[in-house]
Amino acid sequence: MTGLAARHGPIAGLAHCAGVQATAAVRQLTPSGLESLMRINLVAALMLAKGLRQKPVRAGSASLVFVSSIMGLVGAPGRAAYSASKGALISATRSLALELAREEMRVNCVAPAFVKTAMLDELSRTPGQ
C-alpha cells in the first residue's frame, strides 16, 4: 500500500468487497478450502486495515468499509465456513472500529442479504439448494 500511496497520494477510503462463497456440508470441508475462504473473506480485510493505518498511506482521517453478509449473522445449512468467515469479519469490524478510532479511522461493515451477482446465479444452480 505504501507504493500505491506514494504514486497516487494518500488514501482517504477503502472498501473490501471481495468474497468467495463455498457451499459445502461440514463433512465436505477441507483444511485447504477453509484456509482459502478465510484468507479472502477475512485475512485480506485485516491486512488492508493494517496497511491503511500507516500514516504515509492514509489521508488524515480515513474510512474503511467491509462487506460481510447476512449469513454472518444468521447462517444456513451448508454454509458453515462462509458464515464463519463473514461473522468473523463483523466481529473484527467492531474491534477495529474501537482500536483505530484514536487514529481518526472509521471502520464500518455492511451485511447485505442476497445481491444479484454471478455468485448468486451460481448458487441458484447448485443442486440441493
| Separation CA 62–CA 50 (nearest Å) | 13
What pLDDT shows up at residue 129?
47
What pLDDT shows up at residue 60?
85
Amino acid type, 74: V
- pTM as predicted: 0.84
Render each residue's pLDDT in the chain as its tens digit; 129 residues.
888 888 888 999 999 998 888 788 899 999 999 999 999 999 999 999 999 999 889 988 999 999 999 999 998 899 999 999 999 999 999 999 999 999 999 999 999 987 677 766 776 665 544
Residue 62 lies in a domain: yes
CB distance 24 to 78 below 8 Å: yes
CATH number of residue 59's parent domain: 3.40.50.720
Residue 10 lies in a domain: no
Residue 32 lies in a domain: yes
Residue 8 lies in a domain: no
Residue 69 lies in a domain: yes
What pLDDT shows up at residue 117?
75
Residue 116 lies in a domain: yes
Pick the catalytic residue from 42, 53, 82, 96.
82
Classified as helix, coil or strand, 111 is: coil
CB distance 41 to 87 below 8 Å: no
**CA separation, residue 67 to residues 42, 45, 56, 89, 129 (Å):** 10, 9, 25, 8, 23
Residue 81 lies in a domain: yes
Residue 96 lies in a domain: yes
> How many domains does the chain fold into?
1
What pLDDT shows up at residue 126?
58
Domain that holds residue 75: 16-124
DSSP summary character for residue 29: -
What pLDDT shows up at residue 83?
95
11 is catalytic: no
What pLDDT shows up at residue 27?
93
CB distance 72 to 54 below 8 Å: no
